[in-house]
Structure 1
Amino acid sequence: MAISTGEFTSPFFLLRGYENCWKCGNSSRVVGLASGDANSEPYVLQYIKAMPEAFLTEIHKLQPQLEYRLSQAIDASYFMNFCSCCGASIGDHYIFSQPGGAFFPITDEDTQHIEVHELPFLGSFSFECTPAQGIGKAIIQKGTRVSPLSSSP
């Protein structure tokens, strides 16, 4: 996991899905960020250590269970999701890198369960994170578009 500071450009997308909590087993809503046009290969931003405050404000409108926490597994802090039932951390490895995780869909049907919210930011912004390419295009193209940003259940 290489974390670096980089500039990412609009459009920006908030990805929203569900992940089972490793501790209590309940399904909990999780979010991720993607940057770039779906016609090219967008970046999925993982292990975000720093982001513009305006992004965090928008994310918290839909996902209050995201905060800067220490990951025991990697001995580093980053913005991570946590379980809405028991408060356990839900690390990026499980939602982005494990087949069947919230943002690692196996089938087109899995992809359609991911909500894709376009964020209201234009231009280039600096993030300290691990950018990844590969699955973002499929999620943005085949996920369920929710516009404008809304707090559907």
Structure 2
Amino acid sequence: MKYLDVPSNEEDAAKELGAKFDADSNRWFVPDGLCTSDFNLWLPVEPNIQLVAPIFLVTSANRCYSCNEISVVHCLGSKAVFDLDDQEEIEGENPVLISNLSIDEPEIERAISEVAPLYNVDLSKTQGQQVYMNHCEKCGAKLGDFFLHSEPGGAFFPTDEHPEMPLQKKVIVEAGRFTCSGSYRYPL
């Protein structure tokens, strides 16, 4: 039996695929005998990094692919990241930027929702899972992390030819270590 993270608005879809509800744990699960790959959307993401505070909300801007308007975008940054796979801590002068973020830490989730409501958990079709994702202020289109973080000229990969907005950072959590799943890199 494999437990799932099913949002309340997607319970019917999980049930149609054969998921069952365990009233004791108050969670949905994949019964033995069913293929878990049918439920990839709701399988919990295994943590691979630990964010070391202070935790920053990093803000920039990017042109929306859908409406062609400039939209404010966000990501998390931290003083350091401890890579759980490599057992190595990465730290530098600038915050380490986090993309493809999946986190179950109420203090950070609350801080994000208060300051950046258009940076919220949504389905990434590229990854096939729920991650924090930016949404255009004007048209609501999903602004995926690959372009924002990995393409030169993206909001968190700025170049001289695309200086839409310099990176700004605001401390949202002052102390602690927070386990999550995501990718990390230093800004240029």
Do the structures match in fold with TM over 0.5? Answer: yes
Which residue of structure 2 lines up, in the alignment, with residue 101 of structure 1? 154
- Cα distance in 1 for partners of 2:135, 2:180 equals 21
User: How far is the alpha carbon of 1:133 from its aligned partner?
Assistant: 2.3
Corresponding residue number in structure 1 for 2:109? 56
Is the radius of gyration larger for structure 1 or structure 2? 2
Shift of 1:79: 0.9
TM-score for the superposition, normalised by structure 1: 0.75
- Structure 1 residues 41, 19: CA separation in 2 closer, same or farther (over 3 Å shift)? closer
Answer whether contact 1:9 1:124 (CA < 8 A) is retained: yes
Structure with greater contact order relative to length (CA < 8 Å, sep ≥ 6): 1
2:182 to 129, 142, 152: 129
Unaligned runs of 5+ in 1: 139-153
Query: Cα–Cα, structure 1 residues 6 and 39, in superposed 2: closer, same or farther, change >3 Å?
Result: closer
- Is the aligned partner of 1:24 residue 2:67? yes
- Structure 2: where are the runs of 5+ without partners? 1-45, 81-90
Shift of 1:112: 6.8
Give the drift of 1:42. Answer: 4.3
User: In the alignment, which of 106, 118, 134 is matched to residue 171 of structure 2?
Assistant: 118
1:66 match: 119
Corresponding letter in the other structure for 1:6? I
Shift of the 113–40 alpha-carbon distance from structure 1 to 2, 3 Å rule, reads closer
SS at match of 1:93: helix
Contact 2:75 2:99 in 1 (8 A): yes
Q: 3-state SS of the aligned residue for 1:9?
A: strand
* Number of equivalences: 134
